[in-house]
Amino acid sequence: MSLTNRDIAQIFENIADMLQIKGEVIHRVLAYRRAGEVIRELPRDLRALAEEGALTTIDGIGDTLAAKIVELLETGKLAFYERLAAEIPPGLVEVMRIDGVGPKKAKLFWERLGITTIAELEAAARASKLRDLPGMGAKSEQKIIEGIEALARRTGRVPLGTALPTAQAILERLTAMPGVVEGAIAGSIRRGRPTIGDVDLLIASEDAAPIMQTFVTLEQVARVLGHGPTKSSVELHNGLQVDLRVLSEARWGTALSYFTGSQAHNIRLRELALKRGLSLNEHAFSPVDAAGTIIEDAPKILCATEEEVYATVGLPWIPPELREDSGEIEAAQAGALPALITLADIQADLHMHTTWSDGTLSIRDMAEAARARGRRYIVITDHSHYSTIANGLSVERLLQQQEEIRRVDADMGPDFRVFHGVEMDIRSDGTLDYPDEVLAQLDFVIASLHFSLRQERSVITQRVLNAICNPHVDLIGHPRGQYIPDREPADLDMDAIFAAAREHGTALEINANPRRLDLEAQYARRAVHLGIPLAINTDAHSAEQMDLMHFGVLTARRGWVTAASVLNAWPVDRFLNWVRSRR
């Protein structure tokens, strides 16, 4: 069996953990960790890149890592990894996933007690064998048992759509307390990652104790993992971990920047600071001597705002969604940061369902709901008849629907337009669900995959290509078909899809539903680079789902998308001209 991008990413991530247990220098560890991350999110097949000899064009992949990738692709194995596995038991990588067990503890348990798996660690902890090890005690032994139980409960990363509202609710509760000057969600939520490891909250206040007390006793809290004067951690009933830090207003900017991350972005900031004779940590910039040692009596630089942090290292402020060390530092240095799209730029929603198929509201109610949310125009796009479970429209019903849409459009007045579209299935055999002469009568056509998503690459790719190449199809809905967190994307040849979309001028969707976020950011970025138009749509089946638009905008921003590339950020006339020009 040949290795996929995901397999290779996993191997590099394991290597990073094993090197860390070995006590390797952090730069080498991070090189593997970063390579793993980059490969995991790579929008192209490694094999294709290897064949083109283009592996070293990937961010973070130099000659050494490229050679290792080639070895893995060609032989399915990596001699370096096997040597490492002979030295460091691979099960220790799992042990390190337990809360409170880092590389040092993993190594300690292994060297002293021969523990190489979570099961062995649990048995040792329950037999009270850990408490006598150096740096351990009965309390930390109990913590490890709790950590193992928590790990078993945790189903992995939490979707952004779950984590963000939870984080907002807690933040609102805490910022309403007396003495609170600032409050923010930091970490991966602020950067808009589609899945979240844990929630990071920051509060600026001079009186931390009452805030901490309220935090650890919130009704959402299942278990207190730590309760300190300025830092506490809790686990919520839904399994989500939340870290809270309280700090002074004077250090707000430094802390917010540090805890927003990403870690890779922070490392770049620290390097820039060092070039200016400053050491940067979560608290402040501190002057260092030529040897890099902090000069104790020199005054530290505190930053109350993120702008000051960036200015201190000679950069303009960088939007959090870009902070992944994927070119944003260089763009900032060159004065070339993109003017990212905002929710206020969104004029329309081009994908929504009504009671004509599987939505909960009438056409008129959806139009009213969209207008109430500041949209200027919408397209009604119910399902086509292949989606029988979603009550998809026969040709006859589709054409009947048009009469009602025209009526509602007229009733809504000239400042709000309602157009007639459809979300047409791309059938499992690759044909489209309506003939061209029917499609020609619609204002806008979305084509989507809903069925047979596990077909082999060439088959399922061809289905999407058939839709892209049809001149009546304007947009491919949720192109990759993932469902977060349980369903993997379809195995599509994204190179072929991008090439065809570019050739035919067909737009691609960023579906804003947080269970989809499809296209994901790295693909959106590539589409923009190729000049392929995007649309950010809610795919709403109810009025409330129209409020999910911001998740799509966040994803677009992570993809360096500006309003110019987004169909539904255009005024209605420009949108209509674009559609007509395609017919």
375-414 mask for Ca ion (x: CB under 5 A)? ----------------------------------------
> In this complex, which beta carbon is closest to Zn ion, that of residue 338 or of residue 552?
552
Q: Report whether 426 contacts 467 (CB < 8 A).
A: yes
- Spatial separation of the C-alpha atoms in residues 238 and 166, rounded to whole Å: 10
Count, residues near ligand DGT per rule CB under 6 A: 14
Footprint of Zn ion on 495-524 (CB under 5 A): none
328 near Ca ion, rule: CB under 5 A: no
Please name the residue that has the structure tokens 């409170």.
100
Instruction: Give the shortest CB-198-to-ligand DGT separation in angstroms.
Output: 5
Handedness of CA 484, 490, 491, 496 (dihedral sign): negative
- Spatial separation of the C-alpha atoms in residues 13 and 548, rounded to whole Å: 33
- Spatial separation of the C-alpha atoms in residues 558 and 479, rounded to whole Å: 18
> In this complex, which beta carbon is closest to Zn ion, that of residue 313 or of residue 543?
543
Two tokens at 546? Answer: 């129209």
User: C-alpha angle with apex 340: 30 to 565, nearest 5 degrees?
Assistant: 110
Quick count: other Cβ atoms within 10 Å of Cβ 177? 15
178-207 mask for ligand DGT (x: CB under 6 A)? ---------xx----x--xxx-x-------
Footprint of ligand DGT on 236-265 (CB under 6 A): 258-259, 261-263
> In this complex, which beta carbon is closest to Zn ion, that of residue 317 or of residue 483?
483
Footprint of Ca ion on 66-105 (CB under 5 A): none
Instruction: Give the shortest CB-347-to-Ca ion separation in angstroms.
Output: 33
> In this complex, which beta carbon is closest to ligand DGT, that of residue 110 or of residue 259?
259
> In this complex, which beta carbon is closest to Ca ion, that of residue 200 or of residue 425?
200
Footprint of ligand DGT on 544-573 (CB under 6 A): none
- Strand 278-280 relative to strand 534-537: parallel, antiparallel, unpaired? unpaired
Instruction: Give the shortest CB-317-to-ligand DGT separation in angstroms.
Output: 17
Q: Report whether 196 contacts 158 (CB < 8 A).
A: yes
Q: Which does 423 bind (CB under 5 to 8 A by kind): Zn ion, ligand DGT, Ca ion, none?
A: Zn ion
- Spatial separation of the C-alpha atoms in residues 388 and 255, rounded to whole Å: 52
Instruction: Give the shortest CB-163-to-Ca ion separation in angstroms.
Output: 9
Q: Which does 145 bind (CB under 5 to 8 A by kind): ligand DGT, Ca ion, Zn ion, none?
A: none
Q: Report whether 507 contacts 498 (CB < 8 A).
A: no
Footprint of ligand DGT on 130-189 (CB under 6 A): 187-188
Instruction: Give the shortest CB-18-to-ligand DGT separation in angstroms.
Output: 18
Tell me how far CA of residue 352 lies from CA of 87, 294, 568, in angstroms.
56, 58, 13
Quick count: other Cβ atoms within 10 Å of Cβ 27? 8
- Enumerate the β-bridge partners of residue 200: 243
- The correct pick among 187, 359, 392, 481 for binding Ca ion (CB under 5 A) is 187
Q: Which does 261 bind (CB under 5 to 8 A by kind): Ca ion, Zn ion, ligand DGT, none?
A: ligand DGT
User: C-alpha angle with apex 552: 528 to 164, nearest 5 degrees?
Assistant: 140
- Spatial separation of the C-alpha atoms in residues 186 and 175, rounded to whole Å: 15
Instruction: Give the shortest CB-193-to-ligand DGT separation in angstroms.
Output: 6
491 near Ca ion, rule: CB under 5 A: no
485 near ligand DGT, rule: CB under 6 A: no
H or E, element range at 579:
helix 572-582
Q: Report whether 439 contacts 472 (CB < 8 A).
A: yes
- Spatial separation of the C-alpha atoms in residues 562 and 569, rounded to whole Å: 9
- Spatial separation of the C-alpha atoms in residues 54 and 51, rounded to whole Å: 8
User: What is the CA 564 to chain-centroid distance, rounded?
Assistant: 22
Q: Which does 482 bind (CB under 5 to 8 A by kind): Ca ion, Zn ion, ligand DGT, none?
A: none
Question: Under DSSP, is residue 555 helix (H, G, I), strand (E, B) or coil?
Answer: helix
Two tokens at 194? Answer: 């589609």
> In this complex, which beta carbon is closest to ligand DGT, that of residue 188 or of residue 511?
188
- Spatial separation of the C-alpha atoms in residues 470 and 474, rounded to whole Å: 9
Q: 237, 216, 234, 213: which is closest to 225 by C-alpha?
A: 234
- Amino acid found at 343: L
> In this complex, which beta carbon is closest to ligand DGT, that of residue 317 or of residue 578?
317
235 near ligand DGT, rule: CB under 6 A: no
330-359 mask for Zn ion (x: CB under 5 A)? ------------------------------
> In this complex, which beta carbon is closest to ligand DGT, that of residue 4 or of residue 263?
263
Count, residues near Zn ion per rule CB under 5 A: 2
Q: Which does 570 bind (CB under 5 to 8 A by kind): Ca ion, ligand DGT, Zn ion, none?
A: none
243 near Ca ion, rule: CB under 5 A: yes
User: C-alpha angle with apex 582: 422 to 469, nearest 5 degrees?
Assistant: 75
Please name the residue that has the structure tokens 């329950």.
126
Instruction: Give the shortest CB-423-to-Zn ion separation in angstroms.
Output: 4
> In this complex, which beta carbon is closest to Zn ion, that of residue 526 or of residue 541?
541
407-436 mask for Zn ion (x: CB under 5 A)? ----------------x-------------
198 near Ca ion, rule: CB under 5 A: yes
Please give the order of strands across the beta sheet that includes 182-185.
Answer: 182-185, 199-204, 241-247, 231-236, 221-227
User: What is the CA 431 to chain-centroid distance, rounded?
Assistant: 32
262-281 mask for ligand DGT (x: CB under 6 A)? xx--xx--------------
200 near Zn ion, rule: CB under 5 A: no
200 near Ca ion, rule: CB under 5 A: yes
- The correct pick among 273, 539, 554, 558 for binding Zn ion (CB under 5 A) is 539
493 near Zn ion, rule: CB under 5 A: no
Phi, psi (rounded to 5 degrees) for 42: -65, 130
Instruction: Give the shortest CB-185-to-ligand DGT separation in angstroms.
Output: 10
Phi, psi (rounded to 5 degrees) for 408: -65, -40
84 near ligand DGT, rule: CB under 6 A: no
Question: Under DSSP, is residue 302 helix (H, G, I), strand (E, B) or coil?
Answer: coil
Q: Which does 70 bind (CB under 5 to 8 A by kind): Zn ion, Ca ion, ligand DGT, none?
A: none
**Residues forming the site for Ca ion (CB under 5 A):** 187-188, 198, 200, 243
**Residues forming the site for ligand DGT (CB under 6 A):** 187-188, 193, 196-198, 200, 258-259, 261-263, 266-267
